[in-house]
Amino acid sequence: MNQQIMKSEKNNLTDLGKVAVLMGGRSAEREVSLMSGQGVLQALLTAGVNAQAFDPSQRDMSELKREGFNRCFIALHGRYGEDGTVQGALELLGVPYTGSGVMASSMAMDKVMTKRVWRTEGLPTPNHVLLHPSQIDSVSAQDLVATLGLPLIVKPAREGSSIGVTKVKSAQDLRAALLAAAACDHDILCEQCIVGDEVTCPVLGAGKEARALPVIRIVAPDGNYDYQNKYFTDDTQYLVPSGLSAAEEGAIQALVVKAYQVLGCRGWGRIDVMIDRATRQPYLLEINTSPGMTSHSLVPMSAAADGMDYLALCVNLLVDAELDYRESAA
């Protein structure tokens, strides 16, 4: 058995029972989810886990209970998988699952709600304006630019993988960006663009036991870390070690753990951060509570830098699968 499966000494993998790897789904990130799910499935099978693929867009969730699945590894991304909906279904079925629970998943998927929580807790996040598609024709581009500056970022409030995201460099380009975001969601997030180093940092665990993995610094072509550059090219550089000073890396790790904890996350997550070039102030952008597990994905990369390979990461996440609500003993 892989030496890095740290928890296997206390948890015989056969005791995990029949495991469903949830992948695919109905979101705009279906293609990426299928890649993540296949990677996780193969790793679990290699480790000796009785794992099977399960696509909720093709099968009814009730089949998980009828077919005797004991736990689920959620490799779904985006809506109907990362937003609390699948988590709620699994709570009703009583099938433990990886990652955050219903409320944390729901809040984390909503970038505006996430920002509100972080701001309430005194955590730094870029300034923003929330718009509805009905406001696209009436909003003043000049007022928005005066509030947020240029360039500014326009994105759907509830979408991942940079889908529907535009960096707006002139007021004339704003309307097209708003329309692109509105095609993905009924809330549009307009956000101050922080110019500087782009980094991301995974977090594992829950509560006081949560810990940050090594920070990854992302260097994308022309600073454009979009869907294509995330998953389908080799032009983006991922630097781990990040090249940041030990003090700066440590400060970012402490910040992301706090950001993860105040949302009530558990299991795992990955938080994106921008570091202002002039002030070196880090700003929290968003959190992903069901991160990618593809060949280009960042949590496995960071975990490997910490001494945990892909197989061990998958098994340890599965071992930690749980429910928000456990039935009390009779």
* CATH number, position 186: 3.30.1490.20
Cα–Cα distance, 99 to 206 (Å, whole number)? 10
What's at 54, amino acid-wise? F
Q: What's the token pair of residue 44?
A: 């679990």
Which residues form the catalytic set? 29, 161, 231, 270, 272, 286, 288, 292
pLDDT in tens, 206-244: 999 999 999 999 998 776 666 666 556 678 899 999 999
Cα dihedral 233, 236, 237, 242, rounded to 10, equals -130
Question: Domain range for residue 80?
Answer: 6-98
Cα–Cα distance, 64 to 320 (Å, whole number)? 19
- Indicate if 10 and 29 belong to the same structural domain: yes
Cα–Cα distance, 96 to 221 (Å, whole number)? 40
Cα–Cα distance, 23 to 257 (Å, whole number)? 27
CATH number for the domain spanning 234: value is 3.30.470.20
pLDDT in tens, 152-181: 999 999 887 678 899 999 999 999 999 999
Percent of the chain with pLDDT over 90: 83
Among residues 170, 192, 214, the one where a domain terminates is 192
Per the domain annotation, does 319 fall within a domain? no
Per the domain annotation, does 77 fall within a domain? yes
First-to-last C-alpha distance (Å) of the chain? 37
Q: Which residues pair with 167 in a beta bridge?
A: 153
97-111, 132-146, 223-237, 311-325: least confident range = 223-237
